[in-house]
Structure 1
Amino acid sequence: MPTRSSSGSTATKNPPGNQTPNTPDINESEIARMKVDDLRDRLRRRGVTDTADMKKDDLVEALVTSLRDGSDSSGPGSSGSSSGGIRTGAQTSTSVRYSQVIDSVDDEPERPGRSLVTTDHEVIRQWAEARKGVPCTVDGTDHDGHAGVLRFDFPANGREDRLREISWEEWFEAFDKRRLNFIYQEERADGRQSNFFRLDSPDRADG
């Protein structure tokens, strides 16, 4: 049955696909499947307050509007510091789209083996340090004196010759400047700790 929002407009509950013209990176059907608490949290992180009395349909509409207006610091064209969320663009990968978004260190995977994505600096740093990972760049890939290809070195797996350790500040500066997403796992499907991660660019086909 159609539902009526607080603005008086009639909308179909959980409409399929993208119902917002000229916004290819906004998927309303995915947003409509989010939990109410998650919707409120995402809106709060985007600077939208006074959502306590809003019903789910209104929360969905508010989040879609916020995304469409591009007010989030993790949206296209931003430096995207450490606010979590994801960065989108013309080449946003399916890996990003189907990963669970982690906005803070308090968020937890829905299940072992779940693919996760974030831009939050503290989430990334805690994940790496829990695995004794060291921020590095690949020698010979520097750009104008700035860190080149970003990696983590996990000493337990044996040092890689081409990796050069850099500071977290350098690592995150390059991460934000290139508008990268951090795709990763906390655990494998069998519950064992996972070291899997990948850096994904929404602006380049090769990531």
Structure 2
Amino acid sequence: MAKTLTDREDIRQWAEARGGNPMLMDTPDGTGSRTLLQLTFGQHAINTDGNEGPDRLGGFQLVSWDEWFAALDENKLAVVVSDDPAGGSEAEFEFVARD
């Protein structure tokens, strides 16, 4: 069963419970650019002091939750997640247009 999340705190809690971090990437779109959103999981130390990991992954830049939520709102998106308790801590999600 899937659940659509639009509340910032619900999204953040869902992601952080699975070790999630917010990421953005600006990509060319015709004459301008658009911002792509992503969540990365299992990289709990990626943006901490003394880390050995990159702050950029595949063109995506780690950002603050505030920046990520601003992009989510600007793109009028929601996050669909599984609410199946049997799913454990799996980080399966997709972005959908808000109604």
- Which residue matches 1:106? none
- In structure 2, distance between residues paired with 1:125 and 1:147: 23
Structure 2 CA distance for partners of 1:192 and 1:147, relative to 1, 3 Å:
same
Partner AA of 2:81 in structure 1: Y
- In structure 2, distance between residues paired with 1:194 and 1:155: 11
Asked if the contact 1:186–1:194 (Cα under 8 Å) also holds between the matched residues in 2, the reply is no
- In structure 2, distance between residues paired with 1:191 and 1:184: 10
CA drift of 1:179 comes to 1.2
Asked if the contact 1:187–1:193 (Cα under 8 Å) also holds between the matched residues in 2, the reply is no
Partner AA of 2:97 in structure 1: S
Structure 2, gaps ≥5 residues long: 44-53
- Which residue matches 2:5? 118
SS at match of 1:124: helix
Q: Which has the higher contact order (CA 8 A, sep 6+)?
A: 2
- In structure 2, distance between residues paired with 1:135 and 1:115: 21
Between structure 1 and structure 2, the one with the greater Rg is: 1
Once superposed, what is the RMSD of the aligned Cα atoms? 2.9
- How far does the alpha carbon of each residue in 1:138-161 deviate from its partner, in whole angstroms, 9 at most, with x for none? 3x4278xx98100011135xx843
- Which residue matches 1:197? 93
Structure 2 CA distance for partners of 1:135 and 1:147, relative to 1, 3 Å:
farther
- Which residue matches 1:151? 38
CA drift of 1:176 comes to 0.9
**TM-score, structure 1 as length reference:** 0.36
CA drift of 1:118 comes to 1.9
Q: Which has the higher helix share?
A: 1
Length, aligned pairs only = 85
Structure 1, gaps ≥5 residues long: 1-113
- How far does the alpha carbon of each residue in 1:72-130 deviate from its partner, in whole angstroms, 9 at most, with x for none? xxxxxxxxxxxxxxxxxxxxxxxxxxxxxxxxxxxxxxxxxx10002100000000111
Structure 1 residue runs of 4 or more that deviate by more than 6 Å after TM superposition: none
- In structure 2, distance between residues paired with 1:174 and 1:142: 16
- Equivalent in 5, 12, 17 of residue 130 of structure 1: 17
**TM-score, structure 2 as length reference:** 0.69
- In structure 2, distance between residues paired with 1:165 and 1:121: 17
- In structure 1, distance between residues paired with 2:39 and 2:64: 11
Asked if the contact 1:183–1:198 (Cα under 8 Å) also holds between the matched residues in 2, the reply is yes
- In structure 2, distance between residues paired with 1:187 and 1:142: 37
Q: Which has the higher strand share?
A: 2
- Which residue matches 1:141? 27
SS at match of 2:35: coil
Partner AA of 1:174 in structure 2: A
